[in-house]
Structure 1
Amino acid sequence: MRVSATALSLNVADVEASSQFLKNHFGFEEAMAAEGFASLRREDVGANVIFLSLGMPTLPEDQRHTPAQGLILAFEVDDLEGELARLESEGVEITMPLTAEEWGERAFQVTDPNGLKIQLVDWKGPQA
């Protein structure tokens, strides 16, 4: 098997709100969009993020009405403290404070307007 691209598709109530959040605060750009659909990309990220409106008839019936829940969209970054300060200065609420785990992971989270958890992480903790 050869994989030529990767995307993460998430069902949300308000496609525009989630799209704007990633564009405004995380530097994504719109690759494609249509009614109830937006595909976002960054050249330095190995996957597109796709938002689909709840109830999209193109999805199987058992998937149409289920929002993305229990999912964390994580981005590994070089300057975790710098990103934390930038997001705070932009007025983004930090919904999980910066934490350090014993296995070396350090992370904090924000939440987009649809409740999607976005985590920024590095591996510079004590056991890294």
Structure 2
Amino acid sequence: MKKLVLIALTLTICSVNAQTPKKMKLNAGIVTEKIKETKEFYTTVLDFGVTFENDFYLLLHTPDKSAQLSFLLPNHPSQKPIFQSPFNGKGAYLTIEVENVDDIYEKLKSKGVKIEIELRDEPWGDRHFAIVDPNGIGIDLVKYTEPTE
């Protein structure tokens, strides 16, 4: 009987694991009327590339193509209601982990990009600074380091 229960339990675990995706890819999206300004900001300030775009949708990728971010015009007739309301400019942020935060900080300052949080070290281990995109989204550019405490 114990052997039968063990076999059933093993089959159940294998079945659950077989249904769980092994790989997931996240693509965050923002609904905004500022598609043009957003494209300009991410491609010139952060060196993102354009993966795809049409008249109502913009899909960007990080310089190393490891992550994507999308933008969608509000109230587009091709989209269902849950994807039509525009972002209100509050309550969202992005964190971009980089290896060379000091270099990027200097590069953006030299381009005249407004720095919202100056480059600094945090006791919990972040060396970072922050900027804001055209939609009001805070972007934290960070290099993770060892905590000082």
Provide TM-score, normalisation by structure 2: 0.74
Equivalent positions of 1:1-128 (< 5 A) are 1-3=21-23, 5-42=25-62, 44-67=64-87, 69-124=90-145, 126-127=147-148
Q: Which digits, 9 at most, give the CA deviation of each residue in 1:46-102, with x for residues without a partner?
A: 321101112233444244213063111111111211111100101110012223222
Q: Name whichever structure is richer in helix by fraction.
A: 2
- 1:126 Cα deviation from its structure 2 partner: 4.6
In structure 2, distance between residues paired with 1:45 and 1:103: 28
Structure index of larger Rg: 2
Q: For residue 56 of structure 2, what is the amino acid of its counterpart?
A: G
Q: Is the 8 A contact 2:127 2:142 kept in 1?
A: yes
User: How many residue pairs end up in the alignment?
Assistant: 128
Partner of 2:6: none
| Letter aligned with residue 142 of structure 2 | V
Structure number with higher relative contact order (C-alpha < 8 Å, ≥ 6 residues apart): 1
Paired letter, 2:25: A
- State the alpha-carbon separation in 2 of the partners of residues 76 and 102 from structure 1: 17
Name stretches of at least 5 consecutive residues in structure 1 with no aligned partner.
none
Q: Secondary structure at the match of 2:136?
A: coil
Q: How far 1:109 moved relative to its partner? A: 0.8
State the alpha-carbon separation in 2 of the partners of residues 26 and 70 from structure 1: 21
Q: 1:104 to 1:4 in 2, by over 3 A?
A: closer
Percent of residue pairs bearing the same amino acid type? 24
